[in-house]
């Protein structure tokens, strides 16, 4: 994957330097991804997804007849770098930015885009005011409503959680508490509430307290290296409760790196790509088939992190094809906030019903990691209702 990234960046540079290259003929969409840093595996998958989508768009007419090019910058998953990159793009008056990929970086750049450009965050956690220029790629707010339903209907009611102390963790905690406060979850109990810093090397004290609380389920909410710290800490403490973590960890590199310390039952709330027979929306199946074919042509397979980039990019392309390549940030924003009826790999979108995300509880399915077969297995229907045990 590192070789792929290097080739992509080299090709982009050569295109800029090539004699006779005319940048005006190409419609550029600026992208900010973590190609290095502690979630580089996320950026690599998102880059692969975007380059495959770029090829698909150009083969099917481009944008107003102009070829599309994603111009990618590496923020190293560092909010300060994200801010610098966005400041430069705002100064250039670009109409749209895709990325960054972490909630911390998306929160850091939010004040810079209050009057545009449109910014499509690829992070799962986070939120924005309705009607703003900041959009999000996943149905995050319903995440724990779906999660609680799945565990509640399985008879698991005692929940412990551990989240980070940064902005992403604070937002996750807000959503965990909001899900627990829903009337249907009145019998769910939060028996332990723990926190850690993303840079911590050990969470032994927190895991000891969680173990003493004797939960039915542990929510260990983080992505990448911090998630590995949590799962290793739980393993070292002898915890083997059903464990729920960020879908951003559904990635072959994550499972390869942390496989020895993963709990027996590790769960994720994720998108229809993983729903299997539980997916009964033909248009969503068609969108997934298109994405899968395009990635296969590049020798890749879709996963959660790649999917996080596909629909946002397709939504932006759809808007530009409708409005024209000269569309302003304001016109793009107005188009997206009123959009309903579009169906992508994440299912049907309705931005009027779910501002800034467009997705509902029916865009989520609970899956369990199956280490024996090295795959994710759907254990719920869309919306969280448990499937019958096999």
| Per-residue confidence (pLDDT) for residue 247, from 0 to 100 | 86
Backbone region of residue 347 per phi and psi (left: phi > 0; alpha: psi in -120 to 50; beta: other values): left
Contact of 279 with 362, CB cutoff 8 Å: no
- Mean pLDDT, range 339-348, rounded to an integer: 94
Task: Determine the distance from the C-alpha atom of residue 345 to the mean position of all C-alpha atoms in its chain, rounded to a whole number.
Answer: 13
Kindly indicate the confidence band of residue 361, based on its pLDDT and cuts at 50, 70 and 90: confident
Q: How many helices (H) and strands (E) does the chain have?
A: 12, 14
Rg of the chain (C-alpha set):
20
Cα three-residue angle 248-177-378, rounded to 5 degrees: 40
- pTM, two decimals, is 0.81
User: Is the pLDDT score of 213 beyond 90?
Assistant: yes
Q: Partners of 63 in the beta sheet?
A: 66
**What does the mean pLDDT of the chain come to?**
90
Q: Mind listing the pLDDT tens digit for each residue in 41-91?
A: 889 999 999 999 999 999 999 999 999 999 999 999 999 999 999 999 999
- Mean pLDDT, range 371-389, rounded to an integer: 92
Residues of the chain with pLDDT > 90: what percent? Answer: 75
Contact of 368 with 379, CB cutoff 8 Å: yes
Rounded Cα distance between 382 and 154, Å, is 16
SS3 230: helix
User: Is the pLDDT score of 16 beyond 60?
Assistant: no
Q: Give one DSSP letter per residue of 224-269, joined into a string.
A: SHHHHHHHHHHHHTT--S-EE--GGG-SHHHHHHHGGG--SSEEEE
Q: Mind listing the pLDDT tens digit for each residue in 84-99?
A: 999 999 999 999 999 9
Rounded Cα distance between 80 and 85, Å, is 9
User: Is the pLDDT score of 20 beyond 50?
Assistant: no
Domain 2-140+283-363 classified CATH 3.30.2130.10?
no
Tell me which of 3.40.50.620, 3.40.50.2300, 3.90.930.12, 3.40.50.1000 is the CATH number of domain 143-275+364-378.
Answer: 3.40.50.2300
| Per-residue confidence (pLDDT) for residue 277, from 0 to 100 | 83
Contact of 308 with 122, CB cutoff 8 Å: yes
Give CA separation, 264 vs 163, 239, 368, 369, in Å.
21, 10, 10, 9
The CATH 3.40.50.2300 domain(s) of the chain lie at 2-140+283-363, 143-275+364-378
Q: Partners of 343 in the beta sheet?
A: 348
């Amino acid at each position: 994957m590192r070789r792929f990234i290097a080739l992509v960046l080299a090709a982009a540079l050569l295109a800029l330097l090539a004699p006779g290259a005319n940048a005006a003929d190409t419609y550029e969409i600026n992208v900010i991804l973590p190609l290095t840093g502690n979630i580089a595996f996320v950026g690599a998958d998102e880059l692969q997804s975007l380059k495959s989508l770029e090829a698909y768009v150009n083969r099917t007419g481009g944008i107003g007849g102009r070829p599309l090019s994603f111009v990618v910058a590496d923020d190293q998953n560092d909010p300060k770098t994200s801010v610098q990159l966005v400041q430069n793009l705002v100064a250039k008056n670009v109409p749209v930015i895709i990325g960054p990929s972490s909630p911390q970086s998306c929160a850091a750049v939010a004040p810079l885009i209050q009057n545009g450009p449109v910014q499509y965050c690829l992070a799962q956690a986070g939120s924005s005011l309705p009607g703003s220029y900041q959009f999000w790629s996943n149905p995050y707010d319903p995440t724990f409503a779906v999660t609680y339903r799945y565990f509640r209907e399985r008879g698991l009611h005692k929940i412990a959680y551990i989240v980070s102390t940064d902005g992403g963790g604070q937002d996750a905690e807000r959503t965990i508490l909001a899900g627990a406060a829903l009337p249907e979850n009145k019998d769910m109990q939060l028996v332990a509430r723990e926190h850690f810093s993303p840079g911590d090397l050990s969470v032994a004290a927190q895991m000891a307290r969680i173990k003493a609380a004797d939960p039915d389920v542990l929510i260990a909410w983080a992505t990448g290296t911090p998630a590995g710290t949590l799962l290793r800490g739980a393993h070292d403490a002898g915890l083997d409760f059903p464990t729920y973590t960020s879908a951003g960890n559904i990635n072959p590199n994550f499972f390869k790196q942390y496989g020895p310390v993963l709990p027996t039952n590790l769960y994720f709330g994720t998108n229809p790509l993983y729903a299997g027979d539980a997916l009964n929306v033909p248009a969503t199946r068609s969108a997934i088939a298109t994405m899968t074919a395009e990635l296969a042509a590049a020798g890749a397979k879709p996963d959660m992190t790649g999917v996080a980039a596909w629909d946002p990019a397709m939504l932006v392309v759809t808007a530009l094809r409708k409005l024209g390549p000269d569309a302003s940030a304001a016109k793009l924003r107005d188009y997206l906030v009123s959009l309903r009826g579009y169906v992508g790999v994440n299912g049907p979108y309705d931005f009027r019903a779910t501002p800034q995300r467009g997705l509902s509880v029916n865009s989520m399915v609970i899956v369990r990691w199956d280490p024996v077969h090295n795959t994710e297995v759907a254990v719920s229907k869309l919306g969280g209702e448990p499937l019958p045990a096999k």
